[in-house]
Structure 1
């Protein structure tokens, strides 16, 4: 598969909100201007910021999102030792509870509801500050941005007989070192070492019914920081992939539709993901299964956390071993 690398600023849509063909491609840093997305097709536009932070003791996930006609915000925390989790998800009609930047890095993301508060602030070279409160949970964490750190930005189109009317711009930023504090039920936990943050920044215009796979991993292997980013289903046949590996900040794009083999009903059975450029095994240890039904939307998310093994090829044709890095693999279906 041949994918075009974008190296200069480009608009995702025209000024009136139509898809801009020049936006097709991928980048090593966020270069897409998404500010005109909402000027067309109200009800199909989706915007979100999702962060996941894995520490040796906890897993934290937070979401600020708006899908035109409603907003969904969440904070989820898992104690990895006890298996006890806390989940606060709030669905609010309309967009008033959500503040989202027009483009990546161009302002804060905020969620404000009676039971949940979230603040995501870009600190430039210092990284991204993540703060939030919910019943029994409070956190203040910075996802550092090391010098030269690259992330995957890619535009995925859905082709139709009338052209490209549905499309998604995503930034997947893996292996961001994290530090700060997390308080759960009055006990404060320092986050200092072996903690990794991952970002999913999304701006797009989606079909109503869609399924996807997403997998990510972060950690240190043989003294090198390795980040793994993989996706499937929603990208199949589009001419684009969201597959990449990051080693010590350098991103190598994997322009191949990898084959995913897994049993969605099993909490423990390994997943296999492979092709000419990868041979990977994901062994789960915890399953987070969530279902949402609210107004016009329904969603099924089966997200498994665990450990990776195997290898991927970098852009020099060398095998990057990922043995021991931690992360997740998920299977999702949304009607929204």
Structure 2
């Protein structure tokens, strides 16, 4: 359970460049209008993470005010092959939707053979995603069941704040084409991470997510840490049959990024052994991002609002540490 305020009506995230105090809290569905005035420290992104029995796919569209980034990562779990493409477009901002729930997007970055293009079309119950990059093409159909998708506003100060939405456990189908050979995506799940805010220059975060069916029940796990510590807000929760059970406590993460075979453990919610590690690093002067990700299966238990303990065994997803200067 949580003592965080639950927001139940539409609200503006910001007043000009400053945080709107009425926006602080969490909601079960998108309710925040996320327009932020001005230029300089505002970060906006859409990230889709997909894990199936055959592939892991990560898609990023980010706008950092002073540049745009489009990136795609593909891991073939059967062969172990990894493909990563990333494009940068200086002094450009992708056109993200600011109204609650708007996810349609057209973005591209990079030049020539390094160009990455990502397109997203949304309707009420489906997101269609198309990705094109050198040697890589991805086509996805994401079903949106209409379950709770928790959104949280994290207040560092009136000038630095973040809105984050995590939409978990969305069934996905599609295809991945690598070097001209098309493969069925396989059966699995998609997670949307939507971010809008004004960030501090240096930040470290943990994030973990898992989705699946346990004992005939669709369940998902969302856990985070470090970046929310001490703010009074968390992004932690357990989704069971469409309802989000919010966890208000800061969680204790235990892991060793230097040990590729080691597990990642999260206090209370469970632990996830690494089955694959991905390290992504970007260095562009004042911009530096280094992310360690572990893809695998969660095992453990969670406690719901009414005190019921539920199994999280078998949820598929990831855990990560990301250090950023941006």
TM-score bracket for this pair, using the shorter chain length: over 0.9
Runs of 4+, deviation exceeding 3 Å: none
Q: 1:281 aligns with which of 266, 271, 277?
A: 271
C-alpha separation in 2, matches of 1:259 and 1:107: 32
Query: Is 1:103 matched with 2:96?
Result: no
Residue pair 1:62, 1:76 contacting (<8 A) in 2 also? yes
Q: 2:75 aligns with which of 78, 93, 98?
A: 78
1:63-142 equivalences in 2 (<5 Å)? 63-95=60-92, 98-106=94-102, 108-113=104-109, 114=111, 115-124=115-124, 126-142=125-141
* TM-score with structure 1 setting the length: 0.92
* C-alpha distance after superposition, 1:1-36 (max 9, x if no partner): 52000011000012x23210000000000100012x
Q: 2:189 aligns with which of 175, 186, 196?
A: 196
C-alpha separation in 2, matches of 1:127 and 1:250: 19
Q: What is the Cα deviation at residue 184 of structure 1?
A: 1.8
Structure 1 residues 132 and 43, CA, compared in 2 at 3 Å: closer, same or farther? same
Task: Please tell me the root mean square deviation across aligned C-alpha atoms, in Å.
Answer: 1.4
Q: What is the Cα deviation at residue 266 of structure 1?
A: 1.2
Q: 1:59 aligns with which of 37, 52, 56?
A: 56
Q: What is the Cα deviation at residue 174 of structure 1?
A: 1.0
Structure 1 residues 279 and 69, CA, compared in 2 at 3 Å: closer, same or farther? closer
Q: What is the Cα deviation at residue 262 of structure 1?
A: 1.0
C-alpha separation in 1, matches of 2:297 and 2:173: 21
* TM-score with structure 2 setting the length: 0.95
C-alpha separation in 2, matches of 1:104 and 1:93: 28
SS at match of 1:99: coil
Residue pair 1:281, 1:308 contacting (<8 A) in 2 also? yes
* Equivalent residue, structure 1, for 2:315: 325
* Equivalent residue, structure 2, for 1:173: 167
1:129-278 equivalences in 2 (<5 Å)? 129-146=128-145, 148-159=146-157, 164-191=158-185, 193=187, 195-274=188-267, 278=268
Q: What is the Cα deviation at residue 107 of structure 1?
A: 5.3
Q: What is the Cα deviation at residue 104 of structure 1?
A: 4.2
SS at match of 2:151: strand
SS at match of 2:78: coil
Q: What is the Cα deviation at residue 207 of structure 1?
A: 0.2
Q: What is the Cα deviation at residue 192 of structure 1?
A: 5.5
